[in-house]
Amino acid sequence: MTFETLPPLLSEALAARDYHTLTAVQSAVLDQPDQARDLIVSAQTGSGKTVAFGLGIAAQLFEDDALVASATPLALVVAPTRELALQVSRELSWLYEKAGARIATCVGGMDAAKERRALGRGVQIVVGTPGRLRDHLERGALDLSGLRVIVLDEADEMLDMGFREDLEEILDLTPEGRRTLLFSATMPKAIVALARRYQRDAERISTVGEDRGHGDIEYQAVAVSPSDIEHAAINLLRLHEAETAMLFCATRDNVRHLHASLVERGFAAVALSGEHSQNERNAALQALRDGRARVCVATDVAARGIDLPTLSLVVHVELPRDAETLQHRSGRTGRAGRKGTAVLIVPFPRRRRVDMMLRSAKINAEWLGPPTPEDIRAKDRERMLRTLLAPVEADEDDRALAAQLMEQMPAEDIAAALVRSVRAKLPAPEELIDVTTREGAQAHHRPGFDDVAWFRMDIGRRHNADPRWILPLLCRRGRITKNEIGAIRVLPAETWFQVPTAIAAKFASAVARSADPQGDDESGVRIEAADGPPPAGAPRTDRPGPRGRPPYRAKPTGRGPNKPRPKR
């Protein structure tokens, strides 16, 4: 079946939606010579796979270019989340509207009795989540005896979410001769086993190579100090001023904290995580769709299946665990030909890991510095000029008031007041720590550092120590500012640095109070006063330490820096 040989009613629906070309996954599904064969399709989120399987099941739903009349469902689509199921239902509704298809949606959080009544009236297509579909099957409300085709959408996500038993029960109750289409962004062993058990001679289709990284997504990576991650996220929001943006965190606690910080600063933000009820999720998504909110802070699981047409910016506030998660998150934007931007906020010590992740995903990301307040103010000026110079329709009252203002104030003062009122609505950008990017020390002379005291730390290059990490660590431990730290010299096994003699005692006292020799974080780094500057000549190598670990994970050994390593 080709695009031209689709049932005319589907071709008309596609034309009405301005479908002139098909995506890679849509073409691959339609180009199959045997439209009754089972398929295993690997396609990324946002690649057009919903329309792909909507067209792919047409062979089972149409006869002589007319939809088959049936009292029981002919097609079943199973999706992992409520949001994704509703999205699929909306897509299939416009695709099959001209054909007169009756579609029932069965998902958790909705009125189950209403769903049973819809099923009882007879439908050709059912879309639902595993738990709700299983409930309807057990109650006898869903009859799959006449099913011709079943689609498992985002099957890998369903297995990750613990729906294996539900899926197996649903599949066991379907007719032996039904067609099975399995869509999965990844192919772990569990998916392979599921396909082997429930499919027959399935054709393998993969468009991951063509769609990987999403051609309509611009990837960027921003390297920052770990203490500046939240500030960098705020500045990215202010720099882009996206119509809708999504920020990803790893845990619900971090979602709660970041959401509160954004709201406090004046952002119109909502949160989505496992702690929110279905009603709260619905309210948050509706606020994003109608423009009352512009920022969504979410966990990976909570964001699954969400489709926001105006979403143009994705920020990975906390790094994804692997390349697949990176693409699942980023795939929330750059959909259906729309352009999007995905930005990773990368703590300096984890840059190498992120580089490896990007290479494995075949993504070319541009490494940038974090947006500065100056960058944001320049963008603000561009946006304000564009907004204020745009033509407006003013009624008589508006013009009368404008004339009155012109009589009492100079035009320049009126314009300045207008600019100030617009600027006052914008959250203030954050100042980020300005640290050197050189591998070595901050060696240049600075005023106020003629009389200095030297200190040393028990971490060095072999512990991945770097001035970009060390500077904020010293500020937190010693309760001082970056301007009160002089030269930093990173040696293989330890790091030496300067503070003005006038504050050396205060710094040493604060460091002692913040120390925890058994701490598994930066509190476990030993910081002590030195008798003088670091030794000249060859660097010290008597304490190699673990390779590849970030400096704040390096635990003290209990030995002094000059004591030999005990023999074994």
Q: How far apart are CA 370 and CA 343, in angstroms?
A: 10
What pLDDT shows up at residue 369? 86
Q: How far apart are CA 467 and CA 133, in angstroms?
A: 56
Report yes or no: 107 and 126 within 8 Å, Cβ to Cβ: no
* Residue 235 CA to its chain's centroid (Å): 17
Q: How far apart are CA 546 and CA 557, in angstroms?
A: 12
388-400 residue pLDDT tens: 888 878 888 888 9
DSSP-assigned letters across all residues of 354-387: HHHHHHHTT---EEEPPPPHHHHHHHHHHHHHHH
Q: Does domain 217-374 have CATH number 3.40.630.10?
A: no
**Cα→Cα distances 475→222, 481, 485, 553, Å:** 22, 5, 8, 17
Report yes or no: 70 and 146 within 8 Å, Cβ to Cβ: yes
What pLDDT shows up at residue 212? 44
The residue with tokens 């913040």 is 514
518-553 residue pLDDT tens: 877 788 899 999 988 887 643 433 333 333 334 444
The residue among 441, 451, 513 whose CA lies nearest residue 471 is: 441
Report yes or no: 255 and 297 within 8 Å, Cβ to Cβ: yes
Write phi, then psi, for 11 (nearest 5 degrees): -60, -40
Start and end residues for every CATH 3.40.50.300 domain found in the chain: 8-211, 217-374
The pTM (predicted TM-score) of the whole model is: 0.58
Q: Where are the beta strands (DSSP E) in 428-487?
A: 452-457
Write phi, then psi, for 246 (nearest 5 degrees): -125, 130
What pLDDT shows up at residue 312? 92
**Residue type at 60?**
Q
Report yes or no: 224 and 370 within 8 Å, Cβ to Cβ: yes
Q: How far apart are CA 304 and CA 45, in angstroms?
A: 10
Neighbour-count burial of 94, counting CB atoms closer than 10 A to its CB (0-12 exposed, 13-18 middle, 19+ buried): middle
Kindly give the interhelix angle for 373-388 and 229-240, rounded to the nearest 10 degrees.
20
Q: Which residues contact 495 (CB under 8 A, 6 or more apart)?
A: 456, 457, 459, 460, 465, 470, 488, 489
The residue among 137, 142, 149, 144 whose CA lies nearest residue 177 is: 149
Residue ranges of the chain with per-residue pLDDT less than 70:
1-4, 44-46, 208-215, 305, 335-337, 433-449, 536-568
Q: How far apart are CA 168 and CA 376, in angstroms?
A: 52
Report yes or no: 84 and 305 within 8 Å, Cβ to Cβ: yes
**Cα→Cα distances 540→57, 169, 254, 458, 546, Å:** 69, 65, 40, 11, 16
The DSSP element (H or E) to which 229 belongs, if any, is helix 229-240
Gyration radius of the chain over CA positions: 30
Strands 75-78 and 62-63: unpaired
517's tokens: 């020799």
The residue among 488, 485, 500 whose CA lies nearest residue 459 is: 488
**Residue type at 225?**
S
Q: How far apart are CA 330 and CA 214, in angstroms?
A: 8
**Cα→Cα distances 311→147, 291, 330, 342, 343, Å:** 36, 11, 11, 11, 13
Q: Which CATH superfamily is domain 8-211 in?
A: P-loop containing nucleotide triphosphate hydrolases (3.40.50.300)
What pLDDT shows up at residue 256? 94
Please count the other Cβ atoms lying within 10 Å of the Cβ belonging to residue 10.
21
41's tokens: 């399709």
274's tokens: 């496992």
Helices (H), 303-372: 323-330, 351-360
What pLDDT shows up at residue 45? 63
* CATH (residue range 452-553): 3.30.70.330
Identify the sign of the CA torsion 475, 479, 484, 486: negative
Q: How far apart are CA 551 and CA 459, in angstroms?
A: 6
3-state secondary structure 478-524: HCCCHHHCCCEEECCCCEEEEEEHHHHHHHHHHHHHCCCCCCCCHHH
What DSSP designation does 37 have?
S
**Residue type at 189?**
K
> Cα(first)–Cα(last) distance of the chain, in Å?
73
207-232 residue pLDDT tens: 765 444 455 789 999 988 777 899 99
